[in-house]
Amino acid sequence: MNITSFALFGAKPTFDKPLPIGQLYFPSSERYEAKFRGIFERQYYNNNGPLHEELEEKLQQFLGVKHAICVSNATLGLMMLADAMELTGKVILPAFTFAASAHSVTWAGLEPVFCDINLDTHQIDINAIDALIDKDVSAIMGVNLWGGACNPKALAEVAAARGVKLYFDSAHAFGCTVDGTSIGNFGCAEVFSFHATKILSATEGGCICTNDDDLAVRLRSIRPSYSLDHPVSIVRVANARMSEAQAAIALMSLEDFPENQKNNETLYHLYAGKLNAISGLRLIRPAGVSFSNYQYLVCQVDEREFGLSRDMLIDILKAENVIARRYFYPGLHRCLPYAQELPQYLDSLPNTDSLCSSCIQLPIGALVSAQSVEHICDIIARTHQYAAEIRSRHEK
Ligand SMILES: Cc1ncc(COP(=O)(O)O)c(C=O)c1O
């Protein structure tokens, strides 16, 4: 065997079709049809329909939270929450996250304050937060990444000591627990994403969870874009309603959560057994949780030890039809509008920058078989073995 066995250098790709990193959960067409027949029979398609109500009820039970308020996506949920919590001035959050975390803050007329992350856990660096709090900061947004948690109990202590509010972007963390308590119960509120790539999918959707009755009333008043019977004082309304079609899929996805979680966990351990034997690769364990959904498979590539850069490895994998991604790249402090409007962060987040250049995501989820994982790990092991040759051929 030599480097001509790689698709990048002319061989047939390992996979016939592209294998994306995302979960792409979808119920069988039989279940889908049966559930949708009910929607057509009832002719109730939207506005707190019976499936929507059932979903909220079941989510509350599953998470052990008082209020689960379903929305059309997590981005709108985060935007609504900033208003409902009456935040002012600035909000601290990591720059190593999806753009929506920061955009929700700017949509609410607030300024993001970017905090660096911990290189081991990839979560916000708790020790860096205190120095960022000034009189204009009204809240901290923790982001629970990769089916892990950003230490919500320690964050609550920092927030309480400094008199700021705390809430969470938990888009990645549905079904995870911290010391046995479900994520969804921490801070003032937490927001889950039910996007098609998430372990709980409504194709598009999300949910705001809170144990605060007043906040729940405010959120339910903001959500529908029309007046409720008992109006409460809110800044503005949105249309963030979840349709019956979305709720139907989310209900089936919730039913399948145990099976999908188990499948992810098995794949994670399969990857771990193979990848940890390759020098220069570090598989990230979901941090700080007692139970994880294992929704993401994330590695760090040490270019010197592995022999090739993260980006070269991605090129090799993509040629084999493994759609690995450098997620998140670049850090939000280097994206518009923040790079222009908040240039003070360009040189102040060394861990975020280092991670953005070394982090790689590999496929995991309902569509990924154990055999696919074996093949992917084999490609990566061969890439490491032939790293010097690949580099010199690629540089020509
Ligand atoms: C960390 C994080 N926050 C927020 C979102 C936004 O979720 P949605 O697509 O449901 O708006 C995502 C989406 O992937 C995400 O990864």
> Residue 205 CA: which ligand 1 atom is closest?
10
**Residue 232 above 80 pLDDT?**
no
Q: In this structure, what are the phi and psi dihedrals at residue 54, rounded to the nearest 5 degrees?
A: -65, -40
Q: How far is CA 349 from the centre of its chain?
A: 21
Domain boundary among 224, 252, 280: 252
Ligand 1 centroid to 385 CA: how many Å? 36
Question: How many A from CA of 24 to the centre of ligand 1?
Answer: 15
Q: For residues 7 and 318, give the distance between their C-alpha atoms in angstroms, rounded to a whole number.
A: 9
Instruction: Say if 171 falls within a structural domain.
Output: yes
Residue 19 lies in a domain: no
- Number of structural domains, the chain? 2
- 267 CA from centroid of ligand 1 (Å): 23
Ligand 1 atom closest to Cα of 78?
4
Backbone angles phi, psi at 345, to 5 degrees: -90, -10
- Whether residues 224 and 237 share a domain: the answer is yes
Same domain, 268 and 324: yes
Ligand 1 atom with the shortest distance to the CA of 77: 11
pLDDT value at 273 more than 90: yes
Averaged confidence pLDDT in the chain: 95
With contact defined as beta carbons under 8 Å apart, do 141 and 169 qualify? yes
Domain assignment present for 149: yes
The predicted structure's pLDDT at residue 6: 94
- In Å, the largest CA–CA distance within the chain is 72
Q: Which of 214, 236, 252 is a domain's end point?
A: 252
Tell me the CA–centroid distance for residue 353 and ligand 1, in Å. Answer: 21
Number of the ligand 1 atom closest to the C-alpha atom of 100? 4
Residues 6 or more apart whose CB falls under 8 angstroms from that of 239 comprise: 72, 223, 224, 225
Residue 315 to residues 8, 310, 319, 322: CA-CA distances in angstroms?
8, 9, 6, 9
Parent domain of 319: 3-8+256-395
Q: Do 165 and 207 lie in a common domain?
A: yes
Which pLDDT band, with edges at 50, 70 and 90, does 228 fall under?
A: low
**Residue 14 within any structural domain of the chain:** no
The whole-angstrom separation of Cα 109 and Cα 87 is 9
If asked whether residues 319 and 177 sit together in one domain, one would say no
In the predicted structure, residue 68 carries a pLDDT above the cut 80: yes
CA of 171 to the centre of ligand 1 (A): 5
67 and 129: one domain?
yes
pLDDT over 70 (residue 69) = yes
Q: What is the pLDDT of residue 26?
A: 84
Residue identifier of the C-alpha nearest atom 8 of ligand 1: 74
pLDDT of 225 reads 77
Give the 3-state secondary structure of the chain: CCHHHCHHHCCCCCCCCCEECCCCCCCCHHHHHHHHHHHHHHCCCCCCCHHHHHHHHHHHHHHCCCEEEEECCHHHHHHHHHHHCCCCEEEEEECCCCHHHHHHHHHCCCEEEEECECCCCCCECHHHHHHHCCCCEEEEEEECCCCCCCCHHHHHHHHHHHCCEEEEECCCCCCCEECCEECCCCCCCEEEECCCCCCCCCCCCEEEEECCHHHHHHHHHHCCCCCCCCCCCCCCCCCCCCCHHHHHHHHHHHHHHHHHHHHHHHHHHHHHHHHCCCCCEEECCCCCCCECCCCCEEEEECHHHHCCCHHHHHHHHHHCCEECECCCCCCHHHCCCHHHHCHHHCCCCHHHHHHHCCEEEECCCCCCCHHHHHHHHHHHHHHHHCHHHHHHHHHC
Pairwise CA distance, residues 152 & 129, whole Å: 13
Q: Is residue 58 domain-shared with residue 35, that is, in the same domain?
A: yes
Is 178 part of a structural domain of the chain?
yes
From 79, 98, 117, mutation site for ligand 1 pocket: most ligand atoms within 8 A of C-beta: 98
Q: Quote the CA–CA distance of 159 and 310 in Å, as a whole number.
A: 36
Residue type, 224: P
Q: Which of 21, 70, 75 should be mutated for ligand 1, with most atoms under 8 A from CB?
A: 75
% of residues, the chain, pLDDT over 90: 89
For 50, half-sphere exposure in the C-beta direction (CA atoms, 13 angstrom radius) is 9
Q: How far is the CA of 303 from the centre of ligand 1 (A)?
A: 29
Domain-located, residue 113: yes
What count of other Cβ atoms lies within 10 Å of the Cβ of residue 388?
Answer: 11
Q: Tell whether 121 and 180 lie within a shared domain.
A: yes
- The answer to whether residue 217 is domain-embedded is yes
The residue type found at 203 is: T
Ligand 1 mutation target, pool 176, 195, 253, 327, most atoms within 8 A of CB: 195
What pLDDT, on a 0 to 100 scale, did the predictor assign at position 229? 67
- The string of pLDDT tens digits covering residues 114-167 is 999 999 999 999 999 999 999 999 999 999 999 999 999 999 999 999 999 999
The reply to whether 22 falls in a domain is: no
- Per the listing, tokens 């109990």 go with 153
Atom of ligand 1 nearest to the CA of 193: 10
Which among 193, 198, 203 is the best mutation to test ligand 1's pocket, defined by most ligand atoms within 8 Å of the CB? 193
115 and 145 in a common domain: yes
From 200, 217, 252, give the residue that closes a domain: 252
| Ligand 1 center–CA 3 separation, angstroms | 38
- Give yes or no for a contact between 84 and 212, defined as CB atoms under 8 angstroms apart: no
195 and 296 assigned to the same domain: no
| Residue 195 alpha carbon, nearest atom of ligand 1 | 10
List, for residues 73-100, the tens digit of each pLDDT value. 999 999 999 999 999 999 999 999 999 9
Domain at 53, CATH number: 3.40.640.10
Q: How far does residue 193's CA lie from ligand 1's centre (Å)?
A: 6
Pocket of ligand 1 from Cβ distances under 6 Å = 73-75, 97-98, 100-101, 143, 169, 171-172, 193, 195, 206
Please state the atom number of ligand 1 nearest to the C-alpha of residue 206: 10
